[in-house]
Amino acid sequence: MARRRTTSRSVDHLLTDFGSRLPRKDAEPPEPPADKPFPRVIRHRGVRRAGHGWAPTLPPLAGYQTTSEQAPVMWPLIAGDGLPPTGAPMGFNVLSGGSFYCDPMGWINDDTIPVTNPNVFIFGKPGRGKSALVKAFMLRMIRFGYRSLVLGDVKDEYEDISRALRVEPYRIGPGLPGRINPLDAGPLAMDWERQDRTETARRAAVIFNRWLALIRGLVGSQQVPFTPTEARVINHVLRDLIGWTNGQTRLTPVTIPMVWKSLDDPSEDLVAACRYESQQDFYDSTRPLRDALGSLCEGELEGLFDAPSTFEPNWRAPIQTLSLNALHSAGNEAAVGIALMCLNSWGQGIREMAEVGDRRIVLRDEAWMQTRLGVEAVKTLDSNLRLSRNDGDIQLVTYHKPSDPLSAGDQGSQAAQIAKDLLHLADVRILMGQDEEVGTELGHLLGLTRMQQDLVTGWAMQDKGRALWMVGDQRFKVQTVLTPVERRLTYTNDAVA
C-alpha cells in the first residue's frame, strides 16, 4: 500500500497569516562536506519545489555554427586577442578577466602586435595612479634585468621606492651642491682621440643636434625668437668651445655660462663668420639671445645647470633618481619646467651609448611642466624622445592631459600639430581617468570612439589604477593591481597636481 504524504501547516505559517513571526535563533548555514563543495547538482530546469524557480519547458534556443573568424562580427564588443603573458604583470584585463602584462620591448619584437617603439605615454588626472603604475612597472621589470632612471622627481615621489631599493636619491636645487651640466657631451665623447674621422663626425653631429635642440627650447620658452640666425650663432659658438673647429683630439667640456660669455665677448672670427657688420651689430642682434641664456646662470636656476656635472650615474644600481623637490618647493613652476628640460636633454645624452644588455626604464614624470613652457619646449621634448636610443631603453612620459602641450599659450595650428606629433611618438598610450571636458580633447587628439571616451571619463574615474591601454591600434580595459608593499611605496597623500 502506498503511503500518502500529508502536508501540514506549521505554527510559523499560521502566525505569518496574521502578520507576525516567531523569534528564532539565527542558524549558521551548514558547511558543505570538504570532499563535496557542491553536494547537489541542480538540473537545468531548476529545483522542483515551490519558490525554487522550476521551468517545465525551456525557451527555444537557436543554434548557429560559425567560424572563430566570423564570431567577432556577432559580438563586436567582446575583447579581441589578448597580449602574450610576457613582461611585467600589471593587473587584469577587465573584459576577459585574464592577467594583463606590459612588455614594450617584447611587443616590438612580436610581429602580431602593431608596436614599433618602446615609448609609453601615461595620461591621467592627478591622483588617478599614474606614478603608482610607473613604480609598479619599474619594480616588476627588475627581474627582467631592467633598471630605472628618473629624470626629475618633482615631488620626491620616487624617494620611497629608491630607498627601498637601497639607493639614495640625488638632489638638485637652490643651495644644494649637486650640479647637472645639460651640455655634457656624455659617453659619446669617451675615447674621442681613438675614433676615426667619420666616427667623430657622426658623434659630433649627434651631440650638436642635442645641444641645439636644448638651447632652442631654453631660449624659445622665454618668448625669445630662435630663428636660423640665432641657430647659426649658437652652432658656431658650440663648435669653437668644444674644440671641434680646430680639430682637437680631446673635447673641452662646455657649460651654458661659457656659451653666454662667448656671446657677451664675441671674438672677431665669430662676428665675421656669422656675417655681422661689426661687434656692435652682433651685440644689438643677439641681445635677447644673451639675456635668455643669462637667466639660466642667474636667479632661481643659478647653481643648478651652470657648471660641470657632479653626478655620475651608477649604472649598476637598480634605480637612479634626480630629485627636483627643493626647486619645486620654492614654488616657481616655470623654473621647474626649465629644469626638467635640462634634465631631459642631459638624460638623452647620458644614454646615447650604453653597455650591451643595459636595459633601462627612463622616466619623464610630469612632463607637462616642461611642455607648457611653449612650442619650443615641446619640440625639445619631442627631439629628446625621437633621438633617444630605443634598443634597450623604455621611455615613459606622464602627463595630466593630452592637450597639456596645447596649453602652451600658442593655441595655433602649429602648436596643435607639434603636440599631435609628440603624442604619436609613443605606440603605447595609457589613459587613466579624466574629467568629462578632457574626454572630448582625448577623443579628438587620439582618435577615440565615443565608447572609449566614456570609459576614460566614467569607468576609469571610479577607481584608481583603471585605464584604457592603447597598444598600437589595440585597446584594453585594464585594472592595475598593487601589492600591499607597493601600496605603501606608492602612497602619495596629495591628490592635487
Ligand X SMILES: Nc1ncnc2c1ncn2[C@@H]1O[C@H](COP(=O)(O)OP(=O)(O)O)[C@@H](O)[C@H]1O
Shortest Cβ 99–ligand X spacing (Å): 14
Residues 6+ apart with CB under 8 A from 243: 250, 251, 252
124 touches ligand X by CB under 6 A: yes
487 touches ligand X by CB under 6 A: yes
**Three-class DSSP category at 414:** helix
Give the residue with the Cβ less far from Mg ion, 131 or 200.
Answer: 131
403 touches Mg ion by CB under 5 A: no
Site string for ligand X, 7-26 (x = CB under 6 A): --------------------
Shortest Cβ 131–Mg ion spacing (Å): 3
Q: Are 337 and 369 in contact (CB under 8 A)?
A: yes
Give the residue with the Cβ less far from ligand X, 216 or 464.
Answer: 464
Give the residue with the Cβ less far from ligand X, 190 or 485.
Answer: 485
236 touches ligand X by CB under 6 A: no
φ, ψ for residue 165, nearest 5 deg: -95, 10
Give the residue with the Cβ less far from Mg ion, 41 or 496.
Answer: 496
Give the residue with the Cβ less far from ligand X, 134 or 207.
Answer: 134
The binder of 117, among ligand X, Mg ion, none, by C-beta within 5 to 8 A per type, is none
127 touches ligand X by CB under 6 A: yes
Q: 102: which DSSP letter?
A: E
Number of residues in contact with ligand X under rule CB under 6 A: 16
Q: Which residue from 212, 154, 226, 222 is spatially nearest to 183, judged by alpha carbons?
A: 212
Alpha-helical (H) ranges within 178-251 are 197-220, 228-242
Shortest Cβ 156–Mg ion spacing (Å): 11
Residues numbered 154 to 213 that lie near ligand X (CB under 6 A) are none
Give me the residue whose beta carbon is nearest to ligand X: 465
130 touches ligand X by CB under 6 A: yes
364 touches ligand X by CB under 6 A: no
325 touches ligand X by CB under 6 A: no
Number of residues in contact with Mg ion under rule CB under 5 A: 2
The CA-CA-CA angle for residues 480, 486, 489, to 5°, reads 130
**Three-class DSSP category at 149:** strand
Shortest Cβ 157–Mg ion spacing (Å): 6
Q: Which residue from 213, 217, 212 is spatially nearest to 237, judged by alpha carbons?
A: 212
Q: Which of 123-131, 283-291, 317-325, 343-351 is the region at the interface with ligand X (rule: CB under 6 A)? A: 123-131
Residues 6+ apart with CB under 8 A from 209: 383, 387
The binder of 87, among ligand X, Mg ion, none, by C-beta within 5 to 8 A per type, is none
Cell of 317: 644600481
The binder of 127, among ligand X, Mg ion, none, by C-beta within 5 to 8 A per type, is ligand X
Q: Which of 124-132, 253-261, 270-278, 373-381 is the region at the interface with ligand X (rule: CB under 6 A)? A: 124-132
**Three-class DSSP category at 453:** helix
The binder of 266, among ligand X, Mg ion, none, by C-beta within 5 to 8 A per type, is none
Shortest Cβ 452–Mg ion spacing (Å): 23
Shortest Cβ 366–ligand X spacing (Å): 8
Give me the residue whose beta carbon is nearest to Mg ion: 131
The helix (run of H) or strand (run of E) holding residue 151 is strand 146-153
Give the residue with the Cβ less far from ligand X, 365 or 393.
Answer: 365
Residues numbered 97 to 156 that lie near Mg ion (CB under 5 A) are 130-131
What residues are paired with 101 via a beta bridge? 89
Residue with cell 571619463: 457
Residues numbered 432 to 471 that lie near ligand X (CB under 6 A) are 464-465
For the beta sheet containing 146-153, the strands, ordered from the edge strand earlier in sequence to the opposite edge, are 99-102, 88-93, 474-480, 466-471, 428-432, 120-123, 393-399, 359-364, 146-153, 319-323, 170-171
Per-residue b/e over 179-208, b at no fewer than 16 CB within 10 Å?
bbbbbbbbebbeebeebeeeebeebbebbb
152 touches ligand X by CB under 6 A: no
490 touches Mg ion by CB under 5 A: no
CA distance 290 to 260: 6
Q: 43: which DSSP letter?
A: P
The helix (run of H) or strand (run of E) holding residue 470 is strand 466-471
Q: Which of 120-128, 204-212, 315-323, 325-333 is the region at the interface with ligand X (rule: CB under 6 A)? A: 120-128
Shortest Cβ 273–ligand X spacing (Å): 48
Give the residue with the Cβ less far from ligand X, 292 or 489.
Answer: 489
402 touches ligand X by CB under 6 A: no
Q: Site for ligand X (CB under 6 A): which residue of 88, 102, 132, 289?
A: 132
Shortest Cβ 397–Mg ion spacing (Å): 12
Q: Are 148 and 319 in contact (CB under 8 A)?
A: yes
Q: Which residue from 186, 156, 491, 163 is spatially nearest to 336, judged by alpha carbons?
A: 156
Q: HSE, CB side, 13 Å, CA atoms: give it for residue 304.
A: 28
CA distance 270 to 64: 81
Cell of 445: 587628439
Give the binding site for Mg ion (CB under 5 A).
Answer: 130-131
Give the binding site for ligand X (CB under 6 A).
Answer: 124, 126-132, 464-465, 480, 482, 487, 490-492
